[in-house]
């Protein structure tokens, strides 16, 4: 067995302990004080110098001057309750139902192995623990804070666990890996009152439901049938009682696209609906949006990483996909800035639940696999 892969495999119990602590104590967005404290304490124990970057980011460098590869793990959880019966389940109302606790543990394990093999590094490995991936804001904030400089980053690697992929399998989507996403949050101001006198009110629930029906017709009419776009409204409503017309209501959703043309076509009409329907129906509205770009996997970097990944999981367990995956990832901002590769680490079994489901359970046997992919890919890419 390759020595650095062996070093990671020997850390399996440590990886599990790190993951379970993080899983039991999830935090969201940029508000990660306990998570940052835990990760920085673990880096101190490993003898790795680090610095905090931006809000709740942590960066460390190993190796020597030369080409620089960024390894990124996201740390934030979701604002949802976990429903598993795991003994280390979260009880604080948030949940690591997307697996970011595994990513953080994997990168800590990779950092430990790379520190032990630091003399073999033919360049620099920059390790980034990133906040706020789930709200699409963390990667952009880290880049704005300067994570791609000092030293300058030449390429970047991220992994993500998947409950629908069997443990032991790694998926590499070529080209476009994940969709762009425009997240929109609209608050409609109407005029509340008694339900027996609707003529004296402006019903914001009627406004948001009208918008909902109109939005759900857009993709089928505006997107080329040979392309793919997904528009989903995930939050809709308002009100407090059956006999009260409320003052306000809200609508929140997201548009995912795999081409700039599809996005341009749908967003023009979407913005028109969100801005003008409330006005036409007698209300007013405010809108917030968050944009995450398409994530592109660099072809040359993917080819360079394929060999090391096969060293970890075997030639038959690297699955190369010629089409994009569902979903969106703010690692896309790194892929716009430097050649990047995004790999999916299988962490599921026959009874899997989807990610973002309160019952999802990830297979901890994926931890040393992901950590090995991080560490071995870094070591070998710097040698090439």
Average pLDDT of the segment spanning 290-296: 96
Average pLDDT of the segment spanning 240-255: 97
- Please indicate, yes or no, whether residues 167 and 34 belong to a single structural domain of this protein: yes
Spatial distance between the Cα atoms of 22 and 29, rounded to a whole number of angstroms: 15
Chain segment 60-75, per-residue pLDDT in tens:
999 999 999 999 999 9
- Please indicate, yes or no, whether residues 288 and 299 belong to a single structural domain of this protein: no
Look at the chain and count its residues: 384
Average pLDDT of the segment spanning 177-185: 96
DSSP 57-125: EEEEEEE-SS-EEEEEEE--BBSS------TT---SS-B--SSHHHHHHHHHHHHHHHHHTGGG-SSEE
Per-residue confidence (pLDDT) for residue 298, from 0 to 100: 98
Task: Please state at what angle helix 33-45 crosses helix 100-116, rounded to 10 degrees.
Answer: 20
**Cα–Cα–Cα angle for 367, 175, 269, rounded to 5 degrees:** 110
Per-residue confidence (pLDDT) for residue 348, from 0 to 100: 94
Spatial distance between the Cα atoms of 107 and 59, rounded to a whole number of angstroms: 12
Per-residue confidence (pLDDT) for residue 1, from 0 to 100: 54
- Please indicate, yes or no, whether residues 281 and 308 belong to a single structural domain of this protein: no
- Please indicate, yes or no, whether residues 250 and 325 belong to a single structural domain of this protein: no
Per-residue confidence (pLDDT) for residue 322, from 0 to 100: 92
Per-residue confidence (pLDDT) for residue 349, from 0 to 100: 80
Find, among 64, 77, 65, the residue nearest to 34 by Cα: 77
- Please indicate, yes or no, whether residues 152 and 288 belong to a single structural domain of this protein: no
Task: Please state at what angle helix 12-24 crosses helix 33-45, rounded to 10 degrees.
Answer: 160
Average pLDDT of the segment spanning 296-322: 97
- Please indicate, yes or no, whether residues 171 and 112 belong to a single structural domain of this protein: yes
0.85 exceeded by pTM: yes
Please tell me whether residue 43 adopts helix, strand or coil conformation: helix
Average pLDDT of the segment spanning 37-47: 98
Chain segment 321-358, per-residue pLDDT in tens:
999 998 999 999 999 999 999 999 999 987 899 999 99
Percent of the chain surpassing pLDDT 90: 97
Domain enclosing residue 274, as ranges? 180-292
- Please indicate, yes or no, whether residues 113 and 40 belong to a single structural domain of this protein: yes
Total count of domains within the chain = 2
Mean pLDDT of the chain: 96
Last residue of a domain, one of 292, 314, 339: 292
- Please indicate, yes or no, whether residues 366 and 282 belong to a single structural domain of this protein: no
- DSSP 8-class letter at 17: H
- CA dist 184 to 68, 197, 289, 291, Å? 36, 32, 4, 9
Task: Compute and round to an integer the Cα radius of gyration of the chain.
Answer: 23
Last residue of a domain, one of 292, 313, 334: 292
Residue 368 near residue 15, CB atoms below 8 Å: yes
CATH, residue 276: 3.30.70.360
Structure tokens at 148: 């791609």
Last residue of a domain, one of 292, 320, 335: 292
- Please indicate, yes or no, whether residues 71 and 141 belong to a single structural domain of this protein: yes
Average pLDDT of the segment spanning 198-213: 98
Chain segment 96-128, per-residue pLDDT in tens:
999 999 999 999 999 999 999 999 999 999 999
- Please indicate, yes or no, whether residues 118 and 258 belong to a single structural domain of this protein: no
CATH, residue 339: 3.40.630.10
- Please indicate, yes or no, whether residues 95 and 201 belong to a single structural domain of this protein: no
- Please indicate, yes or no, whether residues 323 and 280 belong to a single structural domain of this protein: no
Q: Which helix (H) or strand (E) holds 206?
A: helix 204-215
Q: Residue 184: pLDDT band by 50, 70, 90 thresholds?
A: very high
């Amino acid at each position: 067995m390759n020595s650095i892969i062996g070093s990671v495999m020997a850390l399996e119990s440590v990886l599990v302990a790190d993951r379970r602590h993080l899983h039991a104590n999830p935090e969201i967005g940029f508000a990660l004080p306990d998570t940052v404290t835990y990760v920085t304490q673990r880096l101190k124990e490993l003898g790795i110098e680090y610095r905090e970057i931006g809000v709740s980011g942590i960066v460390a460098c190993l190796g020597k001057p030369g080409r620089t590869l960024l390894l990124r793990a996201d740390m934030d959880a979701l604002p949802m309750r976990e429903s598993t019966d795991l003994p280390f389940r979260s009880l604080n109302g948030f949940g690591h139902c997307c697996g970011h606790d595994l990513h953080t543990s994997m990168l800590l394990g990779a950092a430990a192995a790379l520190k032990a093999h630091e003399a073999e590094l033919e360049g620099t490995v920059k390790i980034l623990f990133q906040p706020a991936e789930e709200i699409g804001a963390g990667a952009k904030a880290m880049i704005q804070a300067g994570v791609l400089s000092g030293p300058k980053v030449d390429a970047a690697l991220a992994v993500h666990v998947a409950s629908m992929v069997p443990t032991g399998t790694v998926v590499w989507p070529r080209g476009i890996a994940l969709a762009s996403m425009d997240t929109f949050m609209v608050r409609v101001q109407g005029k509340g009152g008694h339900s027996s006198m609707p003529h004296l009110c402006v019903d914001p629930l009627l406004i948001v439901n009208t918008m909902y029906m109109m939005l759900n017709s857009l993709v089928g009419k505006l997107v080329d049938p040979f392309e793919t776009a997904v528009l989903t409204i995930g939050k809709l409503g308002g009100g407090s009682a059956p006999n009260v017309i409320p003052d306000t209501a809200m609508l929140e959703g997201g548009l995912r696209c795999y081409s700039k043309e599809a996005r341009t076509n749908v967003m023009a009409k979407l913005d028109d609906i969100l801005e003008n329907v409330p006005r036409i129906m007698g209300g007013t509205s405010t809108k917030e949006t968050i944009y995450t770009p398409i994530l592109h996997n660099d072809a040359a970097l993917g080819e360079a990483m394929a060999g090391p990944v096969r060293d970890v999981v075997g030639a038959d367990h690297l699955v190369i996909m010629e089409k994009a995956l569902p979903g969106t990832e703010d690692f896309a901002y790194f892929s716009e800035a430097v050649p990047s590769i995004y790999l999916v680490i299988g962490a599921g079994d026959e009874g899997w639940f989807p990610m973002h489901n309160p019952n999802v359970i990830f297979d901890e046997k994926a931890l040393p696999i992901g950590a090995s992919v991080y560490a071995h890919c870094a070591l070998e890419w710097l040698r090439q």
